[in-house]
Structures are given as structure tokens and as C-alpha cells.
Structure 1
């Protein structure tokens, strides 16, 4: 376990980031100058359109012109709110992070018991069934496309997944502190394993159109977590 923590620390040092600073990157940005109601609606519409287009066609194949035409806005409006294509991609990463975490509520913020973990697992599998096992994870799709081609986007994506890990890690730490998990349980490693199982399971479910892949992946990690029961 110590070796795993050291490897994590080495990765963070290589980016010059701590866990807390990484988590801050993909959080909602600091408040911009106050927008009018119309300005806020326009900005939100542009962001929604950009997120939808990137989910459907990929970030690289989504042009600023595509966004302008679909949103029915001018170039000056897009560049005013987002600066350039990189700024728009950053905003979409934050948007998809917020949406991904919101879809897992109220479960995600209360993963502090075995029953809660099971309920979260059931919700994740049920959502795949509801969507016909299609679509995958929008945040994961952005990561697959951008992580090797854009160092800046990779940093934002790393921060996004750190945000996702935080409530899982926090819940497992609470379980260990309450004595539900043994002292030798490592909440950080268990949280990473659970999120990795979710991402891999969603991908296989999308490929095979079979939710059993996600169910099996999550069940395996949850069984491992239960093996640390005090």
C-alpha cells in the first residue's frame, strides 16, 4: 500500500500539484463579472450546445463555427464568454464534471456505509439499463480523446476525476474512522479501484450493450472492500 501511495505522490509531484490543488482546477471557476439574465442565458446555451456537440462528435471535430451555428450566436459572443477553443473545452470539462457528479446524487455524497455503497452501485447500473447501455460516460469520453493530445486538457481532466474521487474517498475514510473498515484498509486505493471499475465497466457495457459488465466490475470491487470489514 505504501508503494501505491508513493507512486501517487510521484505523479502529483510531476504535475506540480497536490490532491487539493488538483481538485480545485475542475471546480466551477471564480465568479466572472455579473452577467445580465440574457447574457447568462446566452452563455449557458453556448456551453450546452458545445457539450452536446463534443459528446456526439468529439472535441477535436467540434468547431467553433459548429457551436455558433447550432447555438444561433455570433463569433463575438462565443469568444467573449470563452476566449477561444481551449477555453471552451475547459468549460465543457467543468460542465460535464458537474453534470456527472450531480447525476449520482444523493448517493455520492453519502458513501459512508456498505448499504450506501450498494445503493450507489444499483443506481449506476440502473442508469445504464435506462439508457439502453448506450452513450457511455461523457467525462470518460473527453478523457479518452484529449488526455494524450492536450496537456492542458489532461490537467483539467485529472482534476475532474480527483473531484469525483473525493466523495468516494471521504466516505471510505469515514467508514474506517467509525470502525466499519479495518485499520489496514486504504480508503484512497479502494476509492481509486472503485472509480476505475466504474469507468471500465461503463465502457464494456457500452461496447457489448450489456449492463452485466458494469454490475460485475462494481460487485468485484465492493466485495474486496467488504473483505476489510472490521
Structure 2
């Protein structure tokens, strides 16, 4: 089974890789807007401009496709945020990262929430494989935040003795909770308050 999965997920040609990437990117967009349950094979087929047989050539079932979407969304988030987090050398840099997170949510009016958070709410209780994939994604995100904080604390300010692990979890939780409330309330007030409170604690 593992060998067959690896074969499907590693196209041998550039055209095959482009087709698979298009399927995953389109599925990610549809699942972000409509949820995993609301994303059907016909809708994906039409939106991606592929055949159903092409979808099933690369993905044995919807669960496998969903895990590919989780990987896609995780890589997109880290590609957007990790470079900033890797350069945290001051509180101003940490606040600049906070502004990127808030501005992205504000531009959407809160719509959609977090692509990983939304999938987690939908899938975690009844899809163990998706839950494990999402847990790994949140761990990777939290690790990027933690490494950024360690870079900040290495400068000797503001609190070199601070617990980077717990503060990274607090910032990640602030992002997730804040984006959930932004989705419900169509305002980033809660997201800003949560992030600002954690950052103020770091600056204490």
C-alpha cells in the first residue's frame, strides 16, 4: 500500500507533476471555500480542468487527496511566514509578523478563517489520519514560531529566560482562536487582542 501511494504521489513526468499540483491546488481552494465534505469529485474535475480518471490516478480516495491538501496548505503558510519568523531579532520584527497575520485576515473580512483550522474543525473528530496530518502541520507551524522566538531571545531581549515552547504555543493558539472569531464576527478585533496580549507578555 505504501509503495502504491508513493507511486501515485510521485509523477514521473513534468506534465504529470503539473497535473497533480493543479488538482491539489484546486482542491485546496474548493475545500477552503466549501469544506472537505462540500468538495465533490465533479466540482474538482470541472474546476481543475481534468478528468475523474486523472484524479483517481493520483489519489486513491478523497482522504488521500485531503491529506495532500493539508500538506499544500501547510507549505503555503510556512512559505509565507517562516522567512519572517526566521528573522525575528527584535520586538518590532515580532510585531511585523503579527501585522502580516492580521492584515491577511482583514483583507478577507475574516472570511474563511484559517485553512488548517477549518479542516481541523471539520475532520479531526472522525478522520484519524487527517487529524494526525493536521497535528503535524500545527506542530511545524509552532516550531517555526518557536525558532523565531529563540532567535529573538538570543539577542538578550526582552526575556532570554522565557519559555519559548509555551510562548510559541500561545501565539499559535492566539492565531487560531483569533481567526475563528474573525470568521464569525467579520472583524479582526479578537485576533489583534489575542496576539497583542501574548506579545505584551513577551515584552513584560
TM-score by length of 2: 0.87
Distance 1:34 1:61, change over 3 A: closer
**CA distance in structure 2 between the partners assigned to 1:121 and 1:166 by the alignment:** 16
Residue 146 of structure 1: which of 105, 123, 136 is its match? 123
Is 1:137 equivalent to 2:119 in the alignment?
no
**CA distance in structure 2 between the partners assigned to 1:103 and 1:163 by the alignment:** 13
Is 1:170 equivalent to 2:147 in the alignment?
yes
Contact 1:111 1:167 in 2 (8 A): no
- The residue correspondences of 1:30-179 to structure 2 (distance < 5 A) are 33=10, 35-104=12-81, 106-179=83-156
Contact 2:9 2:59 in 1 (8 A): no
Match of 2:3 in 1: none
**CA distance in structure 2 between the partners assigned to 1:35 and 1:113 by the alignment:** 45
**CA deviations over 1:122-161 (Å, ceiling 9, x no partner):** 1112222222232211111011111111111110000000
**CA distance in structure 1 between the partners assigned to 2:9 and 2:61 by the alignment:** 16
**CA deviations over 1:21-77 (Å, ceiling 9, x no partner):** xxxxxxxx9995453232222112211221122112211232233322332322321
Structure 1 runs not aligned, ≥5 long: 1-28
**Larger mean Cα displacement after TM superposition, 156-165 or 95-104:** 95-104
**Larger mean Cα displacement after TM superposition, 119-128 or 175-184:** 175-184
Contact 1:132 1:209 in 2 (8 A): yes
**CA distance in structure 1 between the partners assigned to 2:201 and 2:160 by the alignment:** 15
Contact 1:68 1:78 in 2 (8 A): yes
Structure 2 runs not aligned, ≥5 long: 1-5
Aligned pair count? 199
Q: After TM superposition, what 4+ stretches of structure 1 lie above 6 angstroms from structure 2?
A: none
Distance 1:71 1:180, change over 3 A: same
Contact 2:89 2:155 in 1 (8 A): no
Distance 1:208 1:78, change over 3 A: same
